[in-house]
């Protein structure tokens, strides 16, 4: 039964790569990882043992499609970076934020000057670390901002991470910067503006007076 489960998992992974439109180079990388896992199972696994039901420790994450759309608009929709976004988001939705972090780490190692991947790594760290802007998350965001100081994407997602963490004033500060950097006439500039306006309305309200 162990081998059947392994082959089924590999087939599902292959189908998922097709549906996500993963590029050939990235698909080769993921295929090699699956084959490496299969080899390890062949060496150390015990496929003759009966399966045992276990409680899953993974909890799927709700990823806002609108945020994914904004990220594609900011960093490019038809790029190799976008294929990384698709695969990383799929891992997060499956409840595997640790593997998503490892995946994006591999991405920035392969493409160290890619501000989009550094931004995604910061976001992945924040989700992995309990929704906080942890030191690794902030380091990744800072690297993205340094690589692309005149683009709205890195400060917007850093602000989003602070908002998720309940640090609304810090989040608003970064969203103001993102809005200022976004080119006029771009649709995502209006989307940033809407979120910023709602956040500032909350901070100006009695409920938001004591917000961090």
What is the CATH code of the structural domain delimited by 65-208? 1.25.40.10
Rounded to whole angstroms, the maximal C-alpha distance in the chain is: 64
Q: What is the pLDDT of residue 210?
A: 76
Q: What is the pLDDT of residue 209?
A: 78
Domain ranges of the chain: 2-44, 65-208
Q: Alpha-carbon dihedral of residues 203, 155, 72, 150, nearest 10 degrees?
A: 130
What's the pLDDT tens digit per position in 35-71? 545 545 444 444 454 454 444 445 555 667 788 899 9
* Cβ count within 10 A of residue 48: 8
Specify the residue for token string 């993921």. 30
Residues in the chain: 212
How does DSSP classify residue 130? T
Q: What is the pLDDT of residue 55?
A: 42
Q: What is the pLDDT of residue 66?
A: 85
Specify the residue for token string 């890619």. 114
**Single pTM value for the model:** 0.71
Give the list of residues 6+ apart from residue 187 with CB closer than 8 angstroms, or none: 73
Q: Rounded CA gap, 20 and 18, in Å?
A: 6
With beta carbons less than 8 A apart as the criterion, state whether 153 and 71 touch: yes
Q: Alpha-carbon dihedral of residues 106, 66, 21, 77, nearest 10 degrees?
A: -80
Q: What is the pLDDT of residue 110?
A: 93
Q: Rounded CA gap, 99 and 51, in Å?
A: 24
Q: What is the pLDDT of residue 150?
A: 96
Q: Rounded CA gap, 161 and 154, in Å?
A: 11
Residue segments in the chain with a per-residue pLDDT below the cut of 70: 1-63
Cα atoms in the 13 Å half-sphere on the side-chain side of 41: 18
Nearest Cα neighbor of 211 from 150, 146, 144, 165 is 165
Q: Rounded CA gap, 93 and 174, in Å?
A: 26
Helix locations, the chain, DSSP H: 2-20, 24-44, 65-75, 80-93, 97-110, 115-128, 135-147, 153-164, 168-181, 187-204
């Amino acid at each position: 039964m162990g081998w059947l489960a392994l082959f089924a998992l590999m087939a599902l992974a292959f189908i998922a790569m097709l549906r996500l439109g993963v590029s050939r180079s990235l698909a080769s990388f993921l295929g090699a990882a699956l084959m490496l896992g299969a080899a390890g199972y062949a060496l150390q696994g015990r496929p003759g043992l009966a399966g045992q039901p276990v409680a899953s420790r993974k909890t799927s994450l709700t990823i806002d499609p609108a945020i994914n759309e904004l990220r594609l608009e900011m960093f490019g929709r038809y790029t190799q970076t976008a294929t990384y976004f698709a695969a990383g988001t799929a891992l997060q939705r499956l409840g595997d934020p640790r593997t998503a972090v490892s995946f994006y780490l591999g991405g920035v190692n392969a493409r160290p000057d890619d501000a989009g991947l550094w931004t995604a790594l910061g976001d992945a760290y924040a989700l992995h670390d309990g929704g906080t802007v942890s030191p690794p998350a902030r380091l990744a965001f800072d690297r993205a901002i340094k690589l692309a100081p005149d683009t709205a994407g890195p400060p917007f997602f850093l602000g989003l991470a602070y908002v998720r963490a309940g640090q609304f004033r810090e989040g608003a500060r970064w969203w103001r910067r993102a809005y200022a950097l976004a080119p006029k006439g771009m649709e995502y500039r209006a989307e940033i503006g809407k979120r910023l306006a709602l956040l500032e309305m909350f901070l100006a309200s009695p409920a938001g007076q004591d917000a961090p």
